[in-house]
A and B are shown apart, each in its own frame.
Chain A
Amino acid sequence: MPVGKEKSLTVIKEWCKGCGICVAFCPKSVLILKDGKVKIEDFDSCIQCGQCELRCPDFAIYLGGKR
């Protein structure tokens, strides 16, 4: 867990339908689509803004969860 980050980022892979909204609206390019599912590519760059959680239509990504 990088310093300064209070929350981890959790993906529920089974719920992800690969629409790509979170990837497109992440301001720091933390996320990518891989094999039709979201993947956390660069958590170090995450600024914990929560845009991905807010915009995910499938509740498949959120700030928090097990570190």
Chain B
Amino acid sequence: MPSQLVEKYFRVENLPHIWCPGCGNGIVTRAIVKAIDNMNLNKDEVCIVSGIGCSSRASGYLDFNTLHTTHGRALAFATGIKLSKPELTVIVITGDGDAAAIGGNHLIHAARRNIDITTIVYNNHIYGMTGGQYSPTTPTGEKGTTAPYGNIDANFDLCDLVKGAGASFIARGTVYGAKLLEKQIENGIKNKGFSFIEALTICPTYYGRRNKKGSVVDMTTYLKDNAINISAWNKLPKEKKIGKFIVGEIYNNKRAEYTEEYDKIIKSL
């Protein structure tokens, strides 16, 4: 018998999920349903849209209106849903390759429109589903099956990317700080506009093993030890920032939301 939370929001008959032992995707997925539970949203009015990749399999396990789309296109499908039926709460689940490589164009334009969709990127820094190729967030120098001598690409800072594109709510959390992640997702859903939550997760099977990151626990501990909250970050001297990364609510600046603006046009005609 699963927990009440799992029983209520998961399609329990489809569990256990396909993710590898120690993969952080389950933790992020749980944080999403916990956020939904905290807000007491009606399951019938929540729509989860995902792309392709390990993380995008989450939609099949969740008991909402769920749409598992094509690679990179989740936000485009989600835009159609949200614009057509704005009363639905639309949440996009995607990965770093899905959102920032093949779906990069959709990501920046959804942010630019500030359409009321909450996007959660499960960032594991690798293409897991296809077996460990480098992604747009694989750090320079790290390895993937397609970067056998080390990745020479510079990696995206996804939060900076969507900030530049116009997202109105941006946060970064980790699977270590699952409680904080839950709150960030909740605040993202509450924001009337494009909300972006980067959830740093771990891929022990492909990323961890190839890059000698140690055990599942080591990888989780790394997230604990190197995450610095935005409030503390700004006060840190430069040398103390090396090897660290920002977590927390990075940006929150309400502006006109797309579907509301469209409805104004309809009313004016």
Nearest opposing residue in chain A for B22, CB measure:
A19
- Closest Cβ of chain B to A64, distance in Å, is 6
Nearest opposing residue in chain B for A65, CB measure:
B1
Nearest opposing residue in chain B for A17, CB measure:
B21
Give the distance in Å from the alpha carbon of A24 to the alpha carbon of B215 in the complex: 11
Say which residue of A15, A53, A57 sits within 8 Å of B24 (CB atoms). A57
Whether B215 lies near A57 (C-beta < 8 A) is no
Whether A59 lies near B15 (C-beta < 8 A) is yes
For residue B40, CB closer than 8 A to chain A, the reply is no
- Point out the residues of chain A lying under 8 angstroms from B22, CB to CB: 17, 19-21, 57
Whether B25 lies near A21 (C-beta < 8 A) is no
How many B residues are at the interface, by size bracket?
20 to 34
- Closest Cβ of chain A to B256, distance in Å, is 37
Whether B179 lies near A54 (C-beta < 8 A) is yes
Whether A65 lies near B220 (C-beta < 8 A) is no
For residue A34, CB closer than 8 A to chain B, the reply is no
Give the distance in Å from the alpha carbon of A61 to the alpha carbon of B148 in the complex: 38
CB-CB contacts below 8 Å: A44-67 with B: 53-60, 62-66
Whether A57 lies near B15 (C-beta < 8 A) is no
For residue B253, CB closer than 8 A to chain A, the reply is no
Whether A64 lies near B3 (C-beta < 8 A) is yes
Nearest opposing residue in chain A for B216, CB measure:
A19
- Point out the residues of chain A lying under 8 angstroms from B220, CB to CB: 21, 24-25, 55
Nearest opposing residue in chain B for A64, CB measure:
B3
- Closest Cβ of chain B to A7, distance in Å, is 10
CB-CB contacts below 8 Å: A1-52 with B: 10, 12, 14-15, 17-21, 24-25
